[in-house]
Structure formats: structure tokens, C-alpha cells
Amino acid sequence: MLSNYLKIALRNLWRNKTYSAINLFGLAFGIATCLLISFYILDELSYDRFLTNADRVYRINSDIRFGGSDTHTSNSSAPMAAALVQNYPEIEAAARILNQAPGMIWKGSEKIQEKEVYADSSIFEVLGIPLLSGNPKTALNQPHTVVITRKMALKYFNTVEAVGKTLRVNDSQYYKVTGVIEDFPSTSHLKTDLFFSMLDNANSRQDYWLSHNFYTYLLLKPGVSPKKVEQQIQQLFVRRAGPFIQQTLGKSMAELEAAGSYLRYSLMPITDIHLYSDRVDEMNPPSNIQYVYIFSAIALFILVIACINFMNLATARSAHRAKEVGVRKVLGSGNGNLIGQFLTESVLLSLMAFAISLLLAELALPAFNNLADKQLTLNFFKDWYLFPVLLLFALLVGVLAGSYPAFYLSAFEPARVLKGKLTTGMRSGWLRSSLVVFQFFSSVFLMICTLAIYNQLKFIQKEKVGFNRDQVVMLNGVYGPQVQALKNEILRIPGVQSGTVTGYLPIPSWRGDNSFFPEGEVVQERAVQMQEWYVDTDYTKTLGLKIIAGRNFSPGMATDSSGIILNETAVKLFGYANPIGKKISAIEDMQTGQTRELTVIGVVKNFNYESLRENVGALSLQLSSRPAGWANFRLQSKNLPETMGQIEQVWKKLMPGQPFQSQFMDEAFDNIYRSEQRIGNVFMAFAITAIVIACLGLFGLAAYSAERRTKEIGVRKVLGASEIQLITLLSSDFIRLIGIAFLIASPLAWYVMDQWLEGFAYRITLNIWLFLLAGGLALAVALLTVSSQAIKASLTNPVRSLKSE
């Protein structure tokens, strides 16, 4: 019997090639998209699970409210890790990472900036990272030692056996390689290639509990509750930091809390960092669990759309199968037999679609990886378990898509269908209409979301952020005695307008904050926590910042070394009506509480130095000649390549051996929104896929609708209907359905996008035109699809269409 079912299914597919192609490719597109999204989601969920101790490792997060500002950081203080292990036996081990680079690595005559950190020697034990060579317990317990990845070993020594070899860092520092580890997979929140011994960093030995600069990882003993450890951290902190707070601010920890300030610590499972962390100072930008939910929903949407196509086309074609059902029933087939037959057909089709979808997914993978910024691979030999899972999935899709047509068709009464009483395949039209509405609801919904995301991103790019980021080139790695000479030399190039040497820039770069107080009021209630940026006199000019009161730093004023420029938010937090000339105190030494006096010389108009997701926080500019790291120049737009060439020549002359690394500020600015841009692109791709699949189905339905109404069209033509009238007649049903879909999708999309936009301090309002555009696009595409069939039907000679009945 099964072979009979298969035979008839294959012949049916072959005979109705258009229908089969629509169904097969619609379903294959749907499954392929679904597969890609599944891989994406699996990849997102697998972050850091490769670590041996993944289920017992937690990182300490800190939430601080002080001096009018909130800080949520993934860092904690230097002494915390060791103190916790000493005091609480529940903690098996702890390790810290400091995200600072000892410097550039020499490779022959070239200096290269790598991904480097300082780490405690216990880091490999805590995270459970095996060493390919070297002893994990002792690898970093001596100064001037480094553990490197396989990639680095090959790059610098051409062999994985690099233990005992030496790396030259900066000018004359030498580090001995004491271990080699495997490269980190892409699903790691750590992307580091070189782990330098923490013993080389002086700050790591400070016993200061209020400065948060270290990523601290704890390995808990099996069965220990992280909640309990969180309480222990808090107790330890109060015990150790309390006396210092009392001494500096004259307040106990309890009093500080009563006044609204706090320092709180929590543990985050290492496997949650990638999807659940909203901390701004993560080593690598994390993703968001929301996107995993959204993409899961999209995958389901697209699959359902494809299944709906299958159901719609199968039931629309019921007239063609009715006779067969009747004959089979007359010859003794029961309903069960027929259901079995139709389910076999749909499962066969879904298996074929599945095979095509694997091919499509494989072909689309590079583009998808590019779009989603992933390195996904399809490897059935390695991930053999995928195959049965996917096969089961295909069977499920087949049963899901085939069950409605199977039950619908098998319920035909033989006496009626054999008498031709069931000539229309459009019975149960309400259900088919609902399914079409659902398809277009999904498409319009996705389209509105895509348009909203794109508009928000465009808005951010065009938004006046308070500084001019166009034509500013930033040179990285600017250290050493030649810095001033470099700046002066480059400023002599004709196409360079101005330049500033500083690493504090309104794009992801250097940051530092401090507590400031109005003069003579060094008490916690009057504290203003603000960014403390060290710049030179040309900073405001080069970045196009606007001084709205007072003046800029002046090279001729010696007193400007104790001058300070505040932004509008800072002025507001201090509560100054006229800030110029006011004296403020900044904490000079964290450990002794010693302060230094500064005089406000100017006020700079607020500029967005963080992402536009945040409001502008308090910020101050101070003059300094500290190492800057970056030199930034505003260029004239004409002859840009020539100017850049000249700058590079100057660099090579003054910074021999150091690689020339430049980036334009507007690119760096756009990078902040890369994850949104990526999501926008992925959304766009999915929206297009959804609409293509929906239109495939619509095309099939329109063709059957036209076929079903052949006689009606003939009669209408004989009675004098024009082609336009006939096209309108045939298209109007579908237009109505799309209208309904639009009305349902719009409020829902509005709600979802409004929630998403909440995450931005600066955002667009969702205009009506955005909805109308999405609806209009869906309508236009659908009309194009339907009208081709309608035109064909309306142009048929009525004699032929009447005869065909």
C-alpha cells in the first residue's frame, strides 16, 4: 500500500510541476531559513559552555550608586578575589583578569598589537582551560611570564612547542612563554590570545576596595549556592571597605546606604555573560537574550508561513483530488487509508524540501555568517546527531503541513464528488483566508520592524551628537617622546586643519571617572561622580565642541593646568547658576582621600560620549600631557587620499617600526551600533524571505482561484466586463485579506518596536508613514503576484473558458 501511495505522490508531483515547485521551494526556503536561525540560536546559547568548569564558574558584577551617578560594571576590586578564597571555603578558587595590554609584541622588525590581558596564575584552573603544554598551576606564578594561544605560538615561533621561548614586548621587556593553550572558539566571551602574569601589574597588589578594574571569576565548590556567596561578598566588602569609607567620608556603610548610595555585588554565571550581561565594560560586546527570543519567533513564523502554503495549495487543489478520493472510497478505501495516503504525500514532499533546504542552507551560510557576524559551519560528520534531529523535524513539518489537507480531503463524500458536486476547490474558504491573513500579518509585522530598526539607526547616524565626527582621522599607538613632534609635523601638512593628542574620545576609547566636590564640601552628599578626561588645548576645536560659557584652555595661560571645563550635565549636578570661576575638589589619592583644587574655566555644550542608548552623563575636561595613545586630526575633505599618504609618511619617519593604524571617527562611531545594524540586516533578510514565501503561496492560490472561476470570467466577459473590471474582481479578495493582515500587524509591531526603542535615550517616534509604507509594500508585492494570474485569466477567450466547464 505504501508503495502505491509513494507512486501516486511522485506522479502527482511530476504532473503538477508548477504547484509542486511552489510547494517544494516554499517549504525548502522556510526550512532552510529555520535551520539557519536554529544554528544561530544554538551558537548563541553555547557561549562558554566549552569550559570544563562552565557550570561552577561565576563572575562578580558590581552595581554602584554614588555622587549622582549609577555605575554597572563587570569589574570588581583588586583585593576581592584573594580575600574571598581566604575567608570562605565554599569558594574553591578565584582568578582575576585585567583588560590592559602590556604593549606591542615584536615580530622581526615589526611591532604588533595583540589581544592581551594580565591574569592570575589560577585562571586556567578556575575556568578549566587545559594547557597544550606547560603546567597550568605554575604557568603564571612568576613575573615576566606569558601563556599564549596556539595561533600566537604559530605566528611568533612557527611551532606549537613554544614553552621556554621568549617574546619581546614594547622596547625592551622580555616575557618567557610558560604555557600554550588552544585558541578560544568563537563562542567564548574571552577573545584573548596572550595572558601575561598579573605579578607584572602593580595595581593588582593594591589593597584598595573602592576601585573596580578587575574581572574576578570564582570557581564555587559543587552544590554551593551562588546566592549565599553573594551575601558573603557583601559581608566581606563591608568589613574590609567600611573603615576606609568611614575615614574618607566620615560615614559608616549603613549611613551611606541610608543616604541613597550603595555598592552591591552579584554573581553572574559565566555561561550567562554573552546573552544576559548589560554591562558596558565587557571585554567583548555581548549579545542579548531578547534577540534569541525574537529570532526563535521569526523561525517559527517563517516555518508556519511555509506550512500554510502547503495546506492552502493542497486544499485549493482539492477539486483535482476529489475524484480520486471518491473512486478510492468506492473501491473500499476507508478514511484512515486516505489520511495515510495524503500524509505520506506531504511527508514525502517535506523530506524532499528538507533535502533541498540543506543544500540551500549550506549555500546561504557564508552570506548568513556575514550578515549575522558569525562563524557557523554545517558539518554532519562532526555533528552527526543533527541528522536524526533534523530528519525528525522534517517528518514533523510534513505531518503538520499535511494533516489539515489529509483530513479535509478524506472527508469527501464519494457519491457527491463522483457526481461532480464538489467542483470548487475553494470550500472552507474562511480557513484558507485566515491562513493567508496570518502569512501577511507575519510579513507586514517583520517589515514594520525592519523599517523601524533602519530608521532608528539612520536617526542615530544623523543625530546631532554635539561633536563633529566627519573627516577626523584617529591614529592609534601614539606613545613615546616623539608624540608632540608627530602632532606638529602632521599639522604642517596642507590638508590637515587641526589635531589633538588624547585617548579620551566620544567613541569607545579611554574612560576614567572620579568623585568631585564643591570647594570645602568634601562630604558624600555633595559628591558628583563624573568622567575625568585628559586632553590638550586643541581638543574642543578638533572635535568641533562648543564652549557655551567661559573659555577653552589656552596655551599661554599657566594657570590652566588647574583649570577644568565641565559639561552641562556636570554644571547641573553641582547646582551652579554661574559656574565660571567656581572652585571644585577632585579626589587625588584614593587611599588617603587627599584632594586637589580645580577652577572651572568653561562650560562645554553636552555631547554624546557614550552610545545614544544613554543620556549624556557628567563630564569634565582637564589639561594633561600624560601618555595619550591616540592622535586625532581633522582633515579637509579634498585630496583626502593624498593627505592620508602624507600623514603615513610622517608616521614612518617619526615612529619607525610601529605599525600605522588609522581609523576615521565616523566609522568608529558607526561600530557602536554594529549589533543593531546586524540585527537590522538579519531582520531585513527574514522579512524578505517571509514575504517571498507568502507570495509563492499567494501565486499558487491566485492561479487556482482564476482557474476555479474560469466559467464565471467567461460569462462576465460575454456580458461585457472589461479586463480591468475582471482583474479588480479577481484581486479584490486578496487585497481585503492583506488589509486585515495589516490592521492586525500594525498595533502589534508598534508595541514591540516601542519596547525596543525604550532602550535608546535618543529615539525616533513611530510615524504612521512607516506603517503605511510596510503595508503598501506588502500590498504592491501581493498585487503584482495576483494580478499576473488575473490578467492571464481575463485575457482568455470566453468561448474557451465556457467550453472548459
Identity of the amino acid at 646: Q
In whole angstroms, the minimum distance from the beta carbon of 405 to other proteins comes to 16
Closest CB to other proteins among residues 322, 496: 322
Closest CB to other proteins among residues 413, 666: 413
Asked if 8 is part of the footprint of other proteins (rule: CB under 8 A), the reply reads: yes
Q: What is the DSSP-derived secondary structure letter of residue 283? A: S
- As given in the structure block, the three cell numbers for residue 473 are 582621522
Selected binder of other proteins within 15, 49, 546, 652 (CB under 8 A): 15
Asked if 800 is part of the footprint of other proteins (rule: CB under 8 A), the reply reads: no
In whole angstroms, the minimum distance from the beta carbon of 756 to other proteins comes to 51
Asked if 558 is part of the footprint of other proteins (rule: CB under 8 A), the reply reads: no
From residue 729, alpha-carbon distances to 316, 646, 803 in Å are: 19, 69, 21
Asked if 328 is part of the footprint of other proteins (rule: CB under 8 A), the reply reads: yes
Selected binder of other proteins within 259, 327, 392, 743 (CB under 8 A): 327
Identity of the amino acid at 649: Q
- Residue 97 three-state SS: strand
Asked if 2 is part of the footprint of other proteins (rule: CB under 8 A), the reply reads: no
Asked if 548 is part of the footprint of other proteins (rule: CB under 8 A), the reply reads: no
Asked if 557 is part of the footprint of other proteins (rule: CB under 8 A), the reply reads: no
Distance CA 316, CA 426 (A): 6
In whole angstroms, the minimum distance from the beta carbon of 310 to other proteins comes to 19
In whole angstroms, the minimum distance from the beta carbon of 792 to other proteins comes to 24
Asked if 421 is part of the footprint of other proteins (rule: CB under 8 A), the reply reads: no
Selected binder of other proteins within 363, 415, 784, 795 (CB under 8 A): 415
Asked if 340 is part of the footprint of other proteins (rule: CB under 8 A), the reply reads: no
Asked if 329 is part of the footprint of other proteins (rule: CB under 8 A), the reply reads: yes
In whole angstroms, the minimum distance from the beta carbon of 383 to other proteins comes to 39
In whole angstroms, the minimum distance from the beta carbon of 21 to other proteins comes to 18
Cα dihedral 639, 644, 647, 653 sign:
negative
Asked if 137 is part of the footprint of other proteins (rule: CB under 8 A), the reply reads: no
Residues 23-34 as b or e (16 or more Cβ within 10 Å = b): bbbbbbbbbbbb
In whole angstroms, the minimum distance from the beta carbon of 34 to other proteins comes to 31
Distance CA 386, CA 562 (A): 65
Selected binder of other proteins within 12, 76, 318, 710 (CB under 8 A): 12
In whole angstroms, the minimum distance from the beta carbon of 324 to other proteins comes to 5
Closest CB to other proteins among residues 12, 529: 12
Helices (H) and strands (E) in the chain, counts: 24, 24
In whole angstroms, the minimum distance from the beta carbon of 369 to other proteins comes to 43
Helix/strand/coil (H/E/C) assignment for every residue in 650-703: HHHHHCCCCCCEEEEHHHHHHHHCHHHHHHHHHHHHHHHHHHHHHHHHHHHHHH
Selected binder of other proteins within 414, 508, 550, 593 (CB under 8 A): 414
Using the rule CB under 8 A, give the single segment among 47-55, 319-327, 353-361, 445-453 that binds other proteins. Answer: 319-327
Per-residue binding string, other proteins, 728-757, x by CB under 8 A, is ------------------------------
Asked if 317 is part of the footprint of other proteins (rule: CB under 8 A), the reply reads: no
Q: What share of the chain is helix, strand, coil (3-state, %, to 5)?
A: 50, 20, 30
Helix/strand/coil (H/E/C) assignment for every residue in 608-648: CCCCCCCCCCCEEEEECCCCCEEEEEEECCCCHHHHHHHHH
Using the rule CB under 8 A, give the single segment among 228-236, 328-336, 684-692, 708-716 that binds other proteins. Answer: 328-336
Angle value at C-alpha 447, between 443 and 453, nearest 5 degrees? 150
- As given in the structure block, the three cell numbers for residue 493 are 601638512
In whole angstroms, the minimum distance from the beta carbon of 20 to other proteins comes to 13
In whole angstroms, the minimum distance from the beta carbon of 398 to other proteins comes to 20
Using the rule CB under 8 A, give the single segment among 165-173, 353-361, 410-418, 630-638 that binds other proteins. Answer: 410-418
Selected binder of other proteins within 165, 264, 323, 572 (CB under 8 A): 323
In whole angstroms, the minimum distance from the beta carbon of 796 to other proteins comes to 23
Asked if 798 is part of the footprint of other proteins (rule: CB under 8 A), the reply reads: no
Selected binder of other proteins within 17, 227, 239, 419 (CB under 8 A): 419
User: Comparing C-alpha atoms, which of 353, 342, 319, 320 is closest to residue 693?
Assistant: 353
Using the rule CB under 8 A, give the single segment among 10-18, 397-405, 502-510, 724-732 that binds other proteins. Answer: 10-18
Asked if 330 is part of the footprint of other proteins (rule: CB under 8 A), the reply reads: yes
Angle value at C-alpha 535, between 534 and 541, nearest 5 degrees? 150
Whether the Cβ atoms of residue 84 and residue 91 lie closer than 8 Å to each other: yes
Selected binder of other proteins within 89, 172, 202, 331 (CB under 8 A): 331
Distance CA 479, CA 629 (A): 6
- As given in the structure block, the three cell numbers for residue 725 are 473590471
The two most distant CA atoms of the chain are separated, in Å, by: 107
**What are 513's strand-pairing partners?**
531
User: Comparing C-alpha atoms, which of 618, 575, 572, 622 is closest to residue 599?
Assistant: 622
Helix/strand/coil (H/E/C) assignment for every residue in 728-752: HHHHHHHHHHHHHHHHHHHHHHHHH
In whole angstroms, the minimum distance from the beta carbon of 344 to other proteins comes to 14
Asked if 418 is part of the footprint of other proteins (rule: CB under 8 A), the reply reads: yes
Which residues, including other chains, have CB under 8 Å from residue 406's CB and lie 6 or more apart? Answer: 338, 339, 341, 342, 343, 346
In whole angstroms, the minimum distance from the beta carbon of 692 to other proteins comes to 30
Using the rule CB under 8 A, give the single segment among 188-196, 324-332, 430-438, 762-770 that binds other proteins. Answer: 324-332
Closest CB to other proteins among residues 221, 416: 416
Distance CA 775, CA 781 (A): 10
Length of the chain: 805
Asked if 75 is part of the footprint of other proteins (rule: CB under 8 A), the reply reads: no
Selected binder of other proteins within 337, 595, 675, 796 (CB under 8 A): 337
Asked if 334 is part of the footprint of other proteins (rule: CB under 8 A), the reply reads: yes
Q: What is the DSSP string of 2-68?
A: HHHHHHHHHHHHHHSHHHHHHHHHHHHHHHHHHHHHHHHHHHHHTTTTTSTTGGGEEEEEEEEEETT
Closest CB to other proteins among residues 20, 46: 20
Selected binder of other proteins within 103, 179, 326, 714 (CB under 8 A): 326
- Residue 423 three-state SS: coil
Asked if 226 is part of the footprint of other proteins (rule: CB under 8 A), the reply reads: no
Selected binder of other proteins within 333, 705, 710, 794 (CB under 8 A): 333
Asked if 318 is part of the footprint of other proteins (rule: CB under 8 A), the reply reads: no
Closest CB to other proteins among residues 15, 239: 15
Whether the Cβ atoms of residue 167 and residue 146 lie closer than 8 Å to each other: yes
From residue 634, alpha-carbon distances to 31, 472, 565, 568, 791 in Å are: 50, 4, 22, 25, 60
Closest CB to other proteins among residues 332, 388: 332
Residue count, binding to other proteins (CB under 8 A): 25
From residue 631, alpha-carbon distances to 465, 553, 611, 652 in Å are: 21, 18, 22, 15
Residues at the interface with other proteins (CB under 8 A): 1, 4, 7-8, 11-12, 15, 323-324, 326-335, 337, 413-415, 418-419
